[in-house]
Chain A
Amino acid sequence: MSKYANPHLFMKYSKPLLPWVGGLCTIMLVVGFVWSFYLVPPDYQQGGSVRIMFVHVPAAWLSQFVYASIAAASLVSLIWRHALADVFAKSAAPLGAAFTLLMLVTGSIWGKPMWGTWWEWDARLTSALILFFLYLGYIALWHTIENQQVAARNAAILALVGFINIPIIRFSVDWWNTLHQPASVIRSDGPSIDSVFLAPLLFMLVTYTIFFALMVVIRMRTEIMRRRLSSARYASAAFEESVA
């Protein structure tokens, strides 16, 4: 386990991978957008608006996947003091927040023609909004605690507390929503989706996930370099002091 915790090995092996994954991700993004924006026929009910789904649903998937992966990394970091787990959690959080924001914004743009309103206190929308605030609190904690080791441990604790609370929040919001608003706009069973839409949707899901992996590795590399730079500065300052 600890063999792979080595940031040096991570830097060594991730570097040659980056151009390949980056190239693959670019090609898949272009194919995915052309497919979902030009080749998919308009829906018989929703018309062209259905295409927002291909941006929206993968973002929704990643917003939850990223939070779960941060919680898993936090557990690893708390138990094994795995140095890369902290770096991953810190690097992934702004990406997860960005996906959550993308989901909220595209959902809102879709909701305006479909429901006639920018915002609906639907259970799923509400939980997504709270998830966004959980991300903000998590990122804020990383940035306000100066000592990086204390920040890593505290952020990990917060991520796990948030992860434990997410099902409770989901449940309570469902409860609140059924109490206040019997006829929900989004049906939980949902209309079955045609394969014309399903294939590009799955393709976009994979593309987004690769995009996230690419971005998080780039951010992790930046974070490791930043830490090396800062310890090098401390070392050189200490050296100058000892010479003087």
Chain B
Amino acid sequence: MRTLSICIAIVRRDVLLGWRSGAGVATAIGLYGLIVVLVPFGLGPDGDLLSNVAPGILWIALSLALLLTLDRLFQIDLEDGSLDLLFHSPAELELIVLAKSLAHWLIALVPLLLVTPVLSLFLNMSIDRTLATMTSLTLGSPTLVFIGAIGAALSVAIKRGGIIIGLLVLPLYVPVIIFGVGAAQAGTNVFFAGAEGPQASLLFLSALSLFSVVLGPIAGAAALRSVRS
């Protein structure tokens, strides 16, 4: 019971801190929008082409924008000393990492999800395709955050560690991007099974997210422990 209340307190604290400072989240939203807006300049303004590649663009842009925020996950707590206090907390470090990652999902990823419908307009997406992409992004986004938390924890010992997180984390994003874009391309009918329907991809996405919710806190906590010693 006590562990649970500690975790809730950590989530509330991180969400409040993120919300009140706001700068990191706003930067991520700006970057997300800019990557999406740059695509038509790279590919040309052809509406059919843009709507074809739109789910992939949104998935990649969202992953990159999130990557920018990941170094804040543990770095700020390390600098102001609150990470040392968290180490002395009676709650398990794995659960603390879980709570912090969950808070990061709420404060950094949910805003990106919320602006996605606006960005879909720039890519000439139909409402159906936007809904399908939103569904796949929502189901897959825990993977992005929790695998990202591993990279953030591994690089917390490095000054200016933000640059290396991408090198550590992006290869591990390959499965989630494959199934995410696959599900988004397959449409909105989530009950349509088989290779052409999104059901299989959505199930794999959910499996990846559940798996990363376990793997991320264990590996992240192990990495934080090594930095502490």
Q: Which residues of A approach B to under 8 Å, CB–CB?
A: 78, 130, 133-134, 136-137, 140-141, 144-145, 147, 149-151, 153-154, 157-158, 160-162, 164-165, 168-169, 171-173, 175-176, 179
Which residues of chain A are within 8 angstroms of B158 by Cβ–Cβ distance?
144-145
CA A161 to CA B220, docked complex, whole Å: 10
**What separation, in Å, do the CA atoms of A47 and B223 have in the docked complex?**
52
Q: How far is the CA of A168 from the CA of B227 in the complex (A)?
A: 28
Q: Does A154 contact B175, Cβ atoms closer than 8 Å?
A: no
* Contact present for B223 and A172 (CB under 8 Å): no
- In chain B, positions 17-35 with a C-beta closer than 8 Å to chain A are none
Distance in Å from the Cβ of B73 to the closest Cβ of chain A? 15
In the complex, are the beta carbons of B172 and A176 less than 8 A apart? no
Interface CB pairs A-B, < 8 A, 20: A130-B174, A133-B167, A134-B171, A136-B167, A137-B164, A137-B168, A144-B155, A150-B226, A153-B222, A157-B223, A160-B219, A161-B215, A161-B219, A162-B171, A165-B172, A169-B175, A172-B174, A172-B204, A179-B182, A179-B195
Q: Quick check: B174 and A157 within 8 Å, CB to CB?
A: no
Which among A145, A150, A154, A164 is the interface contact of B215 at CB below 8 angstroms? Answer: A164
Q: Name the residue of chain A whose CB is nearest to the CB of B222.
A: A157
CB distance from A96 to the nearest CB of B (A): 14
Question: Which B residues from 158 to 211 make CB contacts under 8 A with A?
Answer: 158, 161, 164, 167-168, 170-172, 174-175, 178-179, 182, 195, 204, 208, 211
| B103 at the binding interface (Cβ < 8 Å) | no
Q: Which of A151, A164, A172 has the most CB of B within 10 A?
A: A172
Interface size class of B (residues with CB under 8 A): 20 to 34
Known: A133-B170, A141-B154, A161-B150. 17 other contacts (CB 8 A): A78-B222, A133-B171, A141-B155, A149-B229, A150-B227, A154-B157, A154-B227, A157-B154, A157-B222, A158-B150, A168-B175, A169-B171, A169-B172, A172-B175, A172-B179, A175-B178, A179-B182
Nearest-neighbour CB distance to chain B for A140, whole angstroms, equals 5
Q: Tell me which residues across on chain B come within 8 A of A147, comparing CB atoms.
A: 157
- B226 lies within 8 A of A173 (CB): no
Shortest Cβ gap from A148 to chain B (Å): 11
Specify which chain B residues have a CB less than 8 angstroms from the CB of A137 in the assembled complex.
164, 167-168, 171
- The list of the 5 closest CB pairs from A to B, nearest first, reads A153-B226, A172-B175, A176-B178, A133-B171, A137-B167
Once bound together, how far apart are the Cα atoms of A172 and B176, in whole Å? 8
Measured CB to CB, the nearest residue on chain B to A178 is: B195
Measured in the bound complex, the distance between the Cα atoms of B229 and A153 in whole Å is 11
Closest to A176 in B: B178
